[in-house]
Amino acid sequence: MKRTPERIERLAAEYALGALQGGARRRFERWMMESWAVRQEVWYWENKLAPLADAVPAEEPPARVWQAIEQRLWPDTAAAHTTRRGLSWLWAGWSLAATAAVLVLAVMLVREPAPQTQGPLLSGAVVQPDVKDPLWLVAETGEPGKLRLRPVAATAPEGQHDYELWVVPADGNPLSLGVIPVGKDSLQITLSPAARAALRASKTLAISLEPKGGSPSGAPTGPILHITKLHELE
């Protein structure tokens, strides 16, 4: 593959449009991981094409869609919400206790400094064209520097290999977030200050196939299987 500026521009535009598929897309994603210039070109086209979405009329999805998303992302929280709705008839009987609790909480809030917010939370999904469900769901937890990764349709890698998660910065080398699971259990990842800053800036994660236990060098050594862009939740 000749890595001329014209070829970079054409492939980056096709990638941003979703027109680059199959092996060509995977090869280009590996190239993105290796080259800052290629990543910059992709982000240029993503920003250039983003206004086209404004021409699409907004449509409010029905409540059941949001409930299904909540159930998939945070099944325990969604179950708790359902339980609370089923016990709503008890609320009136506890109104006096709730009022007292609010007063106590107000006193505590006066004494405690307000928590610092980190802006809109990032969330996204790692998908594969030939798989109906997302492979992994990923989202910031609301606690600074914490990322939750939940496997959905991901399958175990063949042989003595593991999947490894990376932050792809706008400039510089990928930063490892460690080996990631493929079972039913969610993984909570604590980001280093450098990884957190890089993720907030680029909003880009990648998954590579590595030897058992993860990359021995601190950089991707196997094929880049997935690159996903996170989005801000308003």
Residue 165 to residue 147: CA distance in whole angstroms: 12
Sign of the Cα pseudo-torsion (118, 119, 120, 125, in order): negative
Would you say the pTM of this structure is higher than 0.85?
no
CA angle 184, 163, 16 (to 5 degrees): 105
**pLDDT digit string, tens, across residues 183-222:** 777 889 999 999 999 999 999 999 999 999 999 998 999 8
CATH 2.60.40 positions along the chain are: 119-234
Encode pLDDT of 134-182 as tens digits: 888 888 888 888 998 888 888 889 889 999 999 999 888 899 999 998 8
Please report the beta strands in the chain, taking only residues with DSSP state E, as ranges in sequence order: 121-126, 136-140, 146-151, 161-167, 175-180, 187-190, 204-211, 224-229, 231-233
- Domain 119-234 fold is Immunoglobulin-like (2.60.40)
Residue pointed to by tokens 């109104």: 95
Alpha-carbon Rg for the chain in angstroms: 21
Look over the chain and give the mean of its residue pLDDT values, rounded to a whole number. Answer: 76
* Chain center to CA of 104: 37
In terms of Cα–Cα distance, which of 139, 156, 161 is closest to 221? 161
